Amino acid sequence: MRFTISSEQREFAASLRRQLGAADTPSVIRAWSAGDFAPGRKLWTQLADAGVPALAAPELHGGFGAHPIDLVLAFVELGRAAVPGPYVESVAVLPTLLAGTSQARRIDALASGEQVATLAAPPGVPYAVDAAASDIVVLLDGTDLYEAITVGEVASVDRARKLAEVTAGDRLCMAGDVERAFDLGALAASAQILGAGQAVLDTATEYAKARVQFGKPIGSFQAVKHQLADALVGLELARPLLFGAALAVADDSADRARDVSAAKVACVDAAYRASRVALQVHGAIGYTSECDLALWLTKIRALRSAWGTQAEHRARVLAAL
């Protein structure tokens, strides 16, 4: 399998990184955690101007119908900035579930960024993420979509990732391509956690250069170098699996489920290892809520089981083999 990211795609990713870097996402995350969704919704609108919510939406409904590679590039940057909100559900999944149905008109508002949506799809996705901040909340039950009614809240290790227990209200329609929607959700979540893993590794590397012990930066010690290098290797080895899975989704390959699950397993393992290394490099300060690193550590921990646990995705790979 051979592919090259185009110069336009590289510039798209770079522009998102610049935009998110200027957005002071730690303050957005902390406000979202406290129940103040206004800064996060403002950032959502700004990203809509860059075309992020329209990526996976069909052109018929104001979207771009973009290649899954473009979706991956965007979600890597969203993960790198740890942006809060139901981006996977609203950008990657629901446009696929609604396309070609009697409720397809709802995609227009999602693609424009005017509305934010989330969903639950038990058993794989048992809770609706950020239902309180969303305009549309739906429940996927088998092949049917329902208006969702929130009946409770479930605590998450990531305070900026609020989980709602929902039940079915009025039936909306029969869903579109459920299997493809799930794979797109898992693919986007994989890209998101890979970006977060890269962010914590970069933060740990810069900290290791600045932190001095015994008269030397701790990054000069071999034990620290090896930890950082091993984390980097894991992230770099996961990256081609992620892009390979995006190509499998684009081609509707017979191996799509296997490739998406392999990517999810690799990205989660690599990002989680990077988070552990980052915490070791920072020491006790990395645990504190005052340290921005903690925002990324809890995000990575929460995303490990988003859109399928490691056990579930390993089982899909095994079944394919």
Whether 63 is covered by a domain: the verdict is no
Closest CA to 12 of 44, 39, 47: 47
The answer to whether the CB of 263 falls within 8 A of the CB of 187 is: yes
Whether 42 is covered by a domain: the verdict is no
Q: What is the pLDDT of residues 254-266, one digit of tens each?
A: 999 999 999 999 9
CA angle 70, 32, 169 (to 5 degrees): 80
Whether 132 is covered by a domain: the verdict is no
Whether 115 is covered by a domain: the verdict is no
Q: Predicted confidence band at 223 (pLDDT cuts at 50, 70, 90)?
A: confident
Q: What is the pLDDT of residues 294-303, one digit of tens each?
A: 999 999 999 9
Q: What is the pLDDT of residues 131-162, one digit of tens each?
A: 999 999 999 999 999 999 999 999 899 999 99
pTM, whole model, 2 decimals? 0.94
Q: What is the domain count for the chain?
A: 1
Whether 73 is covered by a domain: the verdict is no
**pLDDT for residue 102 is more than 90:** yes
Whether 19 is covered by a domain: the verdict is no
Whether 163 is covered by a domain: the verdict is no
Whether 227 is covered by a domain: the verdict is yes
Pure H helices in 103-221? 106-112, 178-210
Kindly report the CATH number assigned to the domain that includes residue 287: 1.20.140.10
> Domain span at residue 297?
179-320
